[in-house]
Structure 1
Amino acid sequence: MTRLPIVVAIPTKNEAANITGAVRSAAGHFEAIVVVDSASTDGTRELAKAAGAEVIPYVWDGRYPKKKQWCLEHVRPETDWVLFLDGDETVSGELLAELRRIFLDGRRVRPAAFDIPLGYWFGGRRLRHGHTIVKRALVDRTRARFPEPDDLAAPGMGEQEGHYQPLADPVHRLRAPIEHRDLDPVRTWFERHNRYSDWEAWLEAHPEVREQIRRAKTRQGRLFHRAPLKPLLSFGYAYLYRRGFLDGRAGLDYALAMSFYRWQIGLKARELAAGRDPGDPASGSP
């Protein structure tokens, strides 16, 4: 089987529950599969190697580039195209077929990047309606780069790029999905989003950086970025407008969880504005 001229880069930290499935979904189809690991302690590296991936250790130095841009600069640089997978994501058969039509027909690939929809699982069920996230996950490293907003002092993200897209032009949207099915307990979703909300709240207190990041989002993301009443809007969009109620209990749980996430951001932002950040020793809070 002819392999796709694409390197799969999987940034990880403690993804033992998911990494074998992620690597196996891509094995044999791509030029290389490289797991870029940040000192996992749960056997992620060993499992990735056993599944057929190359493993590269990564240590963030606290500056830019962050982890994904570092991958673009250092992981198999002889291959232009990079597909980013999270450790809890898998390449669908439909996506493999679509990529083969694009990359193996002998013609030059015109787009500099591809946006790929996520097939998202929550509460043990694949959401068919309420979830609409699209990731710019496939990029030509010679024509794309992650932005470097002034957010290094922000909490919550650390080595990860924030919730923004790599900059590229032109961009094409694919139809087939990456499957995002996290096998960790749901508490890990809330733990991650608690950290993410710290970053989002910090942005609210730094509007100049918030604007830098807004410009690096998708059109839908830019519109939502400016919207008022985000917790209510988030729930109404996911559960009613996108008909998340058709996903049953999982659809309700997901809509509520995302609404709670937006509420967290607002509450933390108001706390920061009032000078009562509990994570800041200078605030006087315990």
Structure 2
Amino acid sequence: MAGPPTLPIVVAIPTKNEAENIVSTVRSVIGRFKAVVVVDSDSTDDTRALAEAEGAEVVPYTWNGKYPKKKQWCLENVHPETDWLLFLDGDETPSPEMLAELERIFLDGRPVRPAAFDIPLGYWFAGRRLRHGYTMVKRSLLDRTRCRYPEPDDLHAPGMGEQEGHYQPLGEPVARLRAPIEHNDLDPVRTWFDRHNRYSDWEAWLETAPGAREEIRQAKTRQGQLFHKVPLKPLVSFAYGYLYKRGFLDGRAGFDFALALSFYRWQIGLKAREYARRNGPPG
């Protein structure tokens, strides 16, 4: 019996110490896509060995402190003979519905008009799949011949390092898939707070760097651009996700997630005010 069709897409999985999650991620895509490549940044756990055992290619990556950063490097270097590339985090898996949707788009014999696809996340927090609340969307599926990540003047900013910041790759036109990527981090919830503590350093730095801030604002989704202008972001974030988007229907996990995002917004504002007070605008 013939297996499922192979999609003309390369999957790139940027990793660093993802041994807890990488097996399920690779298993979800191996054999379904033209290639599956783990791009690993000097993991000190078994990420590389586990990925190879599941059939993925493993490519080492070391950032040189300049542009391109990691995802743009992948666009330029990971199987460049194939136009389409899908980014997955080391704790993400495409849903069966998403795989079926990609087959309808890429295997019907017609040219694919969009240059990129925004994909909703089926988000898990503290061990529970959230069905309501704030919806996260990532521009993860790209035609590398028509898309590129911005290069804002943030190389000396704290918080992000080798990874691009919280902005989208540029390319037009953009479509949106209906089916989600499942984002299910099996690491302890403290790692969520560790990551977002670092991310808030970068976001706070942006608040005092108007040039880079405006460039990045233009590379965000429409929803991100609107939220960029909102005052009292911690309160608005909680009210939007927990009340307006009915995060309360997810029970305690919905409350915890809405509160965690609100706390993240509060961190950004507090750090930005401290940065401006102590250092002034960055040079």
What is the TM-score of this pair, normalised by structure 1? 0.96
Q: Is the 8 A contact 1:122 1:250 kept in 2?
A: yes
Aligned match of 1:284: none
- Of stretches 95-104 and 126-135 in structure 1, the one that deviates more from structure 2 is 126-135
Q: 1:197 touches 1:261 (CA, 8 Å); kept in 2?
A: yes
Structure 1 residue aligned with 2:158: 155
- The CA RMSD measured in Å over matched residues stands at 0.9
Q: What residue in structure 1 maps to residue 117 of structure 2?
A: 114
What's the offset of the Cα at 1:2? 2.5
Q: Is the 8 A contact 1:120 1:131 kept in 2?
A: no
1:254 alignment partner, SS class: helix
Q: Tell me whether 1:76 sits opposite 2:95 in the alignment.
A: no
* Cα distance in 1, alignment partners of residues 211 and 74 from structure 2: 27
Q: In the alignment, is residue 33 of structure 1 matched against residue 29 of structure 2?
A: no
Residues 48-81 of structure 1: per-residue CA shift (max 9 Å, x gap): 0011100000000000000000000000000000
State the Cα deviation string for residues 223-268 of structure 1 (Å, max 9, x = none).
0011100000000000000000000000000000000000000010
Matches within 5 A, 1:139-178: 139-178=142-181
**2:264 alignment counterpart:** 261
Choose from 153, 173, 194 the match for 1:191: 194
Alignment length (residue pairs) = 277
1:92 aligns with 2:92: no
Match of residue 245 from structure 2:
242
> C-alpha displacement at 1:91, in angstroms?
1.1
Which structure 1 residue ranges, 5 or more long, are not aligned? 278-286
Secondary structure of 1:128's aligned partner: coil
Listed one character per residue, the Cα deviations across residues 104-136 of structure 1 (whole Å, up to 9, x for unaligned) are 000000000000000000011111111301100
Asked whether the equivalents of residues 155 and 202 of structure 1 are also in contact (C-alpha less than 8 Å), the reply is: yes
CA distance in 2, matches of 1:69, 1:244: 34
Mapping 1:7-22, distance limit 5 Å = 7-22=10-25
- Matched residue, 1:282: none
Query: 1:233 and 1:16 mapped to 2: Cα distance?
Result: 36
Q: Distance in 2 between matches of 1:201 and 1:41?
A: 30
Counterparts of 2:253 and 2:90, CA distance in 1 = 22
Q: Where does residue 224 of structure 1 map in the other structure? A: 227
**In structure 1, which of residues 179, 192, 197 is the aligned counterpart of residue 182 of structure 2?**
179
Deviations 1:183-208 (A, max 9, x none): 00000000000000000000011111
Give the match's secondary structure for 1:167: coil
Could you tell me how far apart the structure 1 residues matched to 2:113 and 2:277 are? 49
- Report SS of the residue matched to 1:10: strand
Residue 43 (structure 1) aligns with: 46
Cα separation, 1, equivalents of 2:92 and 2:220 = 21
What secondary structure does 1:164 align onto?
Answer: coil
1:281: which partner in 2?
none
Instruction: Give 1:29's aligned amino acid.
Output: R
In the alignment, the residues of structure 1 paired with residue 123 and residue 200 of structure 2 have an alpha-carbon distance, to the nearest angstrom, of: 20
Rounded to whole Å, the distance in 2 between the matches of 1:49 and 1:65 is 26
Structure 1 residue 276: deviation in Å?
6.4
Return the alpha-carbon distance in structure 2 between the equivalents of residues 2 and 199 of structure 1.
41
Q: Matched residues in 2 for 1:112 and 1:55: separation?
A: 27
Per the alignment, residue 67 of structure 1 pairs with 70
Corresponding residue SS for 1:275? helix
The residue matched to 1:268 in structure 2 has which SS?
A: helix
Gaps of 5+ in 2: none
- Residue of structure 1 equivalent to 2:254: 251
2: CA distance between counterparts of 1:71 and 1:20?
A: 21
- TM-score, normalised to structure 2, is 0.97
Q: Distance in 2 between matches of 1:159 and 1:115?
A: 22
**Is the 2:134–2:240 contact (alpha carbons within 8 Å) kept by the matching residues of 1?**
no
C-alpha distance in 1, partners of 2:220/2:212?
13
Specify the SS of the correspondent of 1:144. coil
User: What is the alpha-carbon distance in structure 2 between the residues aligned to residue 250 and residue 122 of structure 1?
Assistant: 7
Structure 2 SS opposite 1:188: helix
- Contact 1:84/1:137 (<8 A) preserved: yes
Mapped to 2, the partners of 1:115 and 1:202 lie a distance apart of: 27
Aligned mates of 2:50, 2:234 — CA distance in 1: 39
The residue that corresponds to 1:233 in the other structure is: 236
